Amino acid sequence: MRPRKTGGGAFDPAGRPVYFAAGAHLKGTAGGNPPAHVLVAVNELPSTAAEESNLIPHLDAGRKVLLDSGIFWLTNEHKRAHGCSMNEALALPPEQIDGFGKLRDRYLELTTRHGDRLWGYIELDQGGAENKRRTRSTLEAAGLAPIPVYHPLNDGWDYFDELASSYDRICFGNIVQASQQARARLLHTLWERHRAYPDLWVHVLGLTASELCLSCPFESCDSSSWARMLRWNNTRTETALLARTGPLGERFAYHQGGHLPGAAHADSVQMCLDAFAATNRVWKHATERLSDLGGPHLPAERPVTR
């Protein structure tokens, strides 16, 4: 059976790998060196005004936009309100999550209106496998083609095979709040399972491009950490071949003195965006060099010998 094609008229299956920039600091980044690929969440677009300022300019500028459903934000809100863990909140049926209906209605509006211009749009992945199947079936019956989400800690590996054999793209979750050790184990297991589906596009949710992208390659990821020093007044960590090398220090957070009001912040945003673009180029270059040297993106599975 041929895998179902997920929605998004701007998707290019040959354009791997891709690192999507996420976060509120994407506002007003039309000048300088804006990111070519951005992730915007439905919860960031609650009104027509927000849609016109935070989504449509990206589409009009020709950027590839991945629309996130906002479920991660919604379950975080529910978790804080009810004192449960994130994994517990993610496993609840949609009907038990505060605000799900409102988010679903806005999701339907945005995907119906902009689906052909988006790179893709992520399903409303609330609940375990059964709930996700039910919600996705409703969306598909409405003419949409969302990208399914697989949560390894909740769904079991049989569900991965179900999605991988049925769709051309899937998202991989449970990464954001995982420790570095757990993250490495999850991604290496993903890579091994991915080898059985070499044409599958896997997008890892909430992962900053790092050396893990080279040791267990996949097709795309997203992160808001490119703006970390602006959001939390942190030092900026530089990388070499995607691996962290060390901090630049707090003096690099803002350019001091001699600028018009607001220019210091704009300069800092642009520095972060330049570093983000460089990371994207390094990842793509390393992947292409591997191909030049004859290394396949996903080596064929080896039979297990006992």
CA distance 99 to 128: 18
CA distance 233 to 235: 7
Per-residue pLDDT tens digits for 104-133: 999 999 999 999 999 999 999 999 999 999
Average pLDDT estimate for 83-105: 91
Instruction: Compute CA distances 172 → 157, 160, 225, 264, 292, whole Å.
Output: 12, 9, 18, 37, 28
Q: Three-state SS string across 8-38, please?
A: CCCCCCCCCCEEEEECHHHCCCCCCCCCCEE
Q: What is the pTM of this model?
A: 0.88
Average pLDDT estimate for 28-34: 56
For residue 12, the number of C-alpha atoms closer than 13 Å in the C-beta half-sphere is 9
CATH node for 18-233: 3.20.20
Q: pLDDT class for 30, splitting at 50, 70, 90?
A: very low
| 80, 99 contact by CB (below 8 A) | no
Structure tokens at 199: 């044409």
Per-residue pLDDT tens digits for 127-175: 999 999 999 999 999 999 999 999 998 899 999 999 999 999 999 998 9
Residue 248 has pLDDT above 80, yes or no: no
For residue 262, what pLDDT is reported?
56
Average pLDDT estimate for 217-241: 77
User: Residue 52: how many CB atoms within 10 A of its CB?
Assistant: 11
Kindly report which listed range (15-24, 193-202, 248-257) carries the lowest average pLDDT score. 248-257
CA distance 4 to 147: 10
For residue 260, what pLDDT is reported?
45
For residue 87, what pLDDT is reported?
80
Q: Specify the 3-state DSSP secondary structure of 223.
A: strand
Q: Three-state SS string across 35-79, please?
A: CCEEEEEHHHCCCHHHHHHHCHHHHHCCCEEEEECCHHHHHHHHH
Residue 61 has pLDDT above 70, yes or no: yes
User: Residue 71: how many CB atoms within 10 A of its CB?
Assistant: 28
Non-local CB neighbours of 99 within 8 Å, separated by 6+ positions:
74, 77, 78
Q: pLDDT class for 203, splitting at 50, 70, 90?
A: very high
